[in-house]
Chain A
Amino acid sequence: MLKASEIKVGDTHTEVLVEDLKRTQIVQYAGASGDYNPLHTDELFTTKIAGYPTVFAHGMLTMGMTGRMVTNYVGDGTLKKYGVRFTSQVWPGDTLTSVATVTELREEDGESLVDLEIVTTNQDGVAVVTGSATAKITS
């Protein structure tokens, strides 16, 4: 768990979430999450019927990987809130990097909290996920 005395507004934490995302990882996510939408795993359907160049990752896979960066930073089981917008698609072969930036340190209902702004970008610098999180910290 983060300590209020050790962080300040503007601090950042950066992690590479995945390098050269494999279709197999997307299959793993489909199996674990139960979201078997063929857009994510079925090349024939996705190209011939849906009209996309190839399959693409579940938004929730990117949110999940981004969440890993967040929990590595703030600690296990400390999150109060975590939310994202899916701003661009993630494709096989993408390399994703995620950054959390401390935007506020505050007290609420007797708890010390940190607010984070989150952005995950691909190898071209395009944001694929933007969002925010709030976690408990020790004072």
Chain B
Amino acid sequence: MAIDKFLVEASHIMMFARSIGDDNPVYYDEDHKSESGSEGIIAPPTFAQSSAQFDPDYFLRPKTGGVGWFGSGKEPTGLKPSGSGGGGGGGAAAGLHAEQHFEYHLPLKAGDVLSATTKPGNAWEKESKRAGKLKFSESVTEYRNQNGDLVITATGVGVQTERPVDS
């Protein structure tokens, strides 16, 4: 993943904060003084994850132009079966999120323009009772601001499960 321009906008921060049930005014009122001393609207700690909105190739967003989407329409999945590869298995193919870690180097503020580059990290396997063989893979994303300064380092760990997780 590479993102050229992640525009950090006040209304996006407001919507993101609402979605996590956070009504802290630092996320929508530019006149509210943050305890950190930052001017204007700041972003919640996990906001960088919404960079997906600015990734042109993000695979968990339906694309325009008649490209297939694995969610339901007339049928439970929009993908046509493609032999033993199991084209309908989009849910499993997308994997699950196992871990997420953020390191904060500078405050993230409305008005910032970030770019992001992602590199693969470690990969490992594990057996589990609840979901069979688990394949873990790590990715490390560096978010830099308009001045080229490192703002956030995000490390995500994804897992592919052999079968749906027993709950």
Interface residues of A (CB under 8 A from B): 1, 17-18, 25, 28-29, 31-39, 42, 44-53, 58-61, 63-65, 67-68, 70-72, 75-86, 88-89, 91
Contacts and interface: CB of A to CB of B under 8 A. Distances in A.
Given A68-B21, A83-B102, A86-B97, A33 B35 contact: no
Interface of B: 12, 15-16, 18-22, 24, 26, 34-38, 42, 44-46, 49-53, 58, 60-62, 70-72, 76-77, 88-92, 94, 96-104, 107, 155, 163-165, 167
Contacts of A78: 35-36
Nearest to A38: B71
Pick the most buried of A50, A67, A76: most chain B CB atoms within 10 A of its CB.
Answer: A76
Given A33-B16, A44-B76, A76-B26, A25 B46 contact: no
Contacts of A46: 91
Q: Pick from B15, B96, B97 the residue with the most CB of A within 10 Å.
A: B97
Given A29-B20, A51-B164, A45 B72 contact: yes
Contacts of B98: 85-86
Contacts of A48: 72, 76-77
A49 B89 contact: yes
Given A68-B20, A85-B98, A77 B38 contact: yes
Contacts of A53: 167
B20 A44 contact: no
B96 A59 contact: yes
A60 B46 contact: yes
Contacts of A76: 24, 26, 34-36, 38, 42
